[in-house]
Structure 1
């Protein structure tokens, strides 16, 4: 399937539909990290077909080096790519960039999803304008998976929307539930709203209104209520919903705590001969913990609420991490992620009607 192809934006019944459109030039280690990651993905996903966008002169020698990647890829040549530090407004003007053409492929129906390790701001801007939001979704959100004591948790929003109203939070709950079903394989994921306390009177009005709406929705049996920061790592719920500002702070704080803990453990085990002997005794357990908390396992933030699957790999990831991002995208494509959101929204249209404003949904119990 390794060939050069420059498709137009129209799609006929005879045209091949690709599983994913992959930005071959996005990320610090591109294009080799991308191609090496696709080689591993070829082994994990039978029947996967990838439209690989980027500079053919760079991609073709790499596909020769990684024949398994070559077996699933069709090259769509472009010599334009979006730098990691480019502003989104400038990136929008690059209509022939590898990232833009990947988005075009999804918008035209030529591919079912996009994976890129490129510029995050540019990717979100292009996704909104080119792929567009699903009907009934006012704003897309960024979702990702994080480790907990009990397993994994889906968190959203992680930075796409700094300020949100109650409707946005309810939509995020719908999208988070669908994501947990598709990627974690949970039949009925539990949902929590991140707050400063678990009591019903805690938090601002938008949180209390969103909680009331979820209790009246088809998700009522899965809605746990309010959760606090420590509940994220405790695995109290399968999905944690918050605004983008709070979610991003929580995510970065968690990453920082993990790095600090790793640094402190290294210091402890280097303090003397007794500590070094102790390290040798506990090393198998530490190696297992390192594997469990490996950030590459959780690589692949998703812009949810769009007319297609859009997965953002970390820009500095390696091949294994990029494969994990492809895994997330394929799980969503295979399990009908967007169909699940559409189905939920169809049963919640009256609940989320713009005419039903916040005053009409004011909580019955006043704030103390």
Structure 2
């Protein structure tokens, strides 16, 4: 009998994980990392206090051998800390150590569910911006009625923007949709208060011709309702407007979820009907659950950085690692750098600061 052919061993992609980022860290991070190493071709580098992580990993893993590595970091940045102060004072934070691994090319990406403002400021300081990128942008994938997400950016990295910032956001968002979400020809819209080119404020009216001249499928101005109706694949705005839209969407999602649960509990009586309704409700809940998306990529920095919600559970951590892996495999940064190198260069924004972000 011929010996069974040897299956090729998948090449593992190295992803760093901030083990002390989320509100309930490090348990969600540990469980998410374990599930990721079981299901994905990744090697997870957990960053945090080594003695504590070692003991917890031994407890969770028992005798299971998984590709998990620990990198010691003695400090943690809390959710309530001001980004600028934390970045300057905590030089051995789990965020900085993890992002240094990216900069030194020891890992392909970094995932954190920690303080968003500090994560963005640290990423900009440690990794730096890509050539041609004046301001990195934080993205969010919003659920739509079609089942395919809409990419919204910026959702909080920049309080104030220039028109050429929105131009760069459009290029980066379009590439993310094309190469990570696998949308062949993403429809890109500019968030405004009306579809007409003349509608909006000074920023949107100045940005409109810049986006129109880009080699992308620009569909013009879109309105707030278009975030969820599936008419656009990428929607561009400044970080102030984007963060309001993101938080409003999260609130509406929770409202619908709670009202639907209450309605089903009150009206469904038959056992079969209850089971079917429960299945439909669970599907509805998953489509609105941020944990299913894993985190928001910070586009425009020299490396992969995924920022998750502070209340992320192990599902969100797993998906954050998955998104980082997909982002790294797609080579988005190289594509963004190549595209923007052919665009006119703009002077750095005079109001750019390390902690110039909405989300603290």
TM-score, normalised relative to structure 1: 0.84
Gap change, CA 1:165 and 1:287, over 3 Å in 2:
same
Which position in structure 2 is the counterpart of 1:39?
A: 34
Residues 1:62 and 2:56 are matched in the alignment: yes
- Residues of 2 paired with 1:37 and 1:43: CA distance? 10
1:298 and 1:324 in contact (8 A); partners too: yes
Post-superposition offset of 1:235: 1.1
Q: Deviations over 1:116-142 (max 9, x none)?
A: 111112111111111111111001111
State the match for 1:360 in structure 2: none
Q: CA deviation at 1:330?
A: 0.8
Determine the structure 2 residue equivalent to 1:361.
none
| Whole-angstrom distance in 2 between the partners of 1:231 and 1:310 | 27
1:204 aligns to 2:201 (yes or no): yes
Count of aligned residue pairs for this structure pair? 334
Aligned to 1:124: 120
- Provide the residue aligned with 2:262 in structure 1: 267
TM-fit CA distance, 1:172:
0.5
Partner Cα separation in structure 1 for residue 266 and residue 76 of structure 2: 48
Distance of aligned partners of 1:138 and 1:262 in 2 relative to their CA distance in 1, 3 Å threshold:
same
The answer to whether the 8 A contact 2:114-2:310 is kept is yes
From 83, 93, 96, give the equivalent of 1:97.
93
Give the CA deviation at 1:85. Answer: 1.6
Matched position secondary structure for 2:69: strand
Q: Any idea what the Cα deviations from partners look like across 1:159-215, whole Å, max 9, x if unmatched?
A: 111111110000000111121123311222111100001111101232122221122
Could you tell me how far apart the structure 1 residues matched to 2:143 and 2:283 are? 14
Alignment of 1:1-368 (within 5 A): 19-46=14-41, 48-64=42-58, 65-66=60-61, 71-92=66-87, 93-150=89-146, 151-219=148-216, 222-271=217-266, 279=274, 282-347=277-342, 349-350=343-344, 352-353=345-346
Structure 1 residues without counterparts, runs of 5 or longer: 1-16, 356-368
2:257, 2:285 within 8 Å by CA — same for their partners in 1?
no
Report the Cα offset of residue 107 of structure 1: 1.9
Contact map agreement 2:83 2:117 (CA 8 A) in 1:
yes
Unaligned runs of 5+ in 2: 1-11, 349-360
- Are the aligned partners of 1:270 and 1:276 in contact in 2 as well (CA < 8 Å)? no
Change (3 A) 1:70 1:224: farther
CA-CA distance at 1:292 after TM superposition = 2.5
Change (3 A) 1:111 1:292: same
Shift of 1:82: 1.6
Which structure is higher in RCO with an 8 Å CA cutoff and minimum separation 6? Answer: 2
Offset of 1:276 from its aligned partner?
9.1
Give the corresponding residue for 1:9.
Answer: none
